[in-house]
Amino acid sequence: MTTVAVTGAARGIGEAIARVLAERGYALLLGDLDASVVDLAASLGGVGGVLDVTDQTSYEAWLSLVPSVDVLVNNAGVMWVGAFDAEPSRVARRQFDVNFHGVVRGTQLVLPAMRARRSGLVVTVASAAAYISPAGEATYAATKHAVLGWMKAVRQELAGSGISLALVMPTVVETELAVGTVSGGVPRLSPADVALAVASVIEKPRFETFVPARVSALTRVLGVLPQRGRDAMYARLVPNQVQAADPAARAEYESKRL
């Protein structure tokens, strides 16, 4: 049986991924800072443990709860929203620690065993913000750009190893992380939308998957337009969170997670 490890699995996208994968017969290792992940895992027939993706010892202890991991799903993430010059430096560091260094840490920890058996898959739930940078999400977008760049390079290094890397890049998803934000010119997604995309990638690996799929075309068009055209498309389709987000609605989330 294929064992899939999912970080940030106690709620939102991570919980949805866990439920979809359990329905499809995968063995699960679920991790989260929230200890309720243990009960969730047990209810799905899997193993759960408290996990801090920013801490090497915590990550190693969590992975040791199962004999091996065939697929790692890097899902844990945090986001601060607001003007770039109002963002506290500790909050910027926190986003990089979780969103980028947490992904790097987990990937580096599972790769040796995958290399030894010449098979394995690392799926990272990144964001359309890996390509598109909304106003009000400067550092968050930077972390996702960093993940994309890092994964592109590592993918080249792993060529011929039997190990696959995959990025799933959704637009705005109806989760705690996105509370109080707006979705711009695309519909707001449900966690299940992303979970189904992750399951599809596990079953048929491919490097980049946008959710919804049409966002892929948008990123390609933005890449070739002159700056004036890009600015016009941003104004029409990409949310400006500085102008439109609700800081009061986000206050509870940001105080707990950042």
71-72-74 Cα angle (round to 5): 150
What pLDDT sits at residue 186?
83
For 136-188, the pLDDT digits (tens) are 999 999 999 999 999 999 999 999 999 999 999 999 999 999 999 999 888 89
Domain residues of the chain, as ranges? Answer: 3-257
Residue 124 CA: distances (Å) to CA of 13, 39, 168: 12, 24, 6
The C-alpha atoms of residue 89 and residue 27 are separated, in whole angstroms, by 39
The C-alpha atoms of residue 94 and residue 243 are separated, in whole angstroms, by 24
Q: Which of 26, 59, 131, 140 is catalytic?
A: 140
Look at the pTM and tell me if it is higher than 0.85.
yes
Catalytic: 140?
A: yes
Letter for the amino acid at 30? L
Candidates 1.10.3720.10, 3.40.50.720, 3.30.70.20, 3.40.630.30; CATH matching 3-257: 3.40.50.720
Which secondary structure element, helix H or strand E, spans residue 144, and what is its range? helix 138-157
6-200-177 Cα angle (round to 5): 45
Cβ atoms within 10 A of the Cβ of 126, count?
Answer: 27
The C-alpha atoms of residue 94 and residue 229 are separated, in whole angstroms, by 34
User: Which residues 6+ apart lie within 8 Å of 251 measured at CB?
Assistant: none
pLDDT range class, residue 205, cuts 50, 70, 90:
very high
The C-alpha atoms of residue 23 and residue 25 are separated, in whole angstroms, by 6
Residue 30 CA: distances (Å) to CA of 115, 148, 174, 180, 244: 22, 24, 21, 27, 34
Q: Is the pLDDT of residue 244 over 90?
A: yes
The C-alpha atoms of residue 87 and residue 236 are separated, in whole angstroms, by 25
Q: Is the pLDDT of residue 212 over 90?
A: yes
pLDDT range class, residue 223, cuts 50, 70, 90:
confident
Share of the chain above pLDDT 70, in %: 100
For 63-110, the pLDDT digits (tens) are 999 999 999 999 999 999 999 999 999 999 999 999 999 999 999 999
Q: Is the pLDDT of residue 222 over 90?
A: no
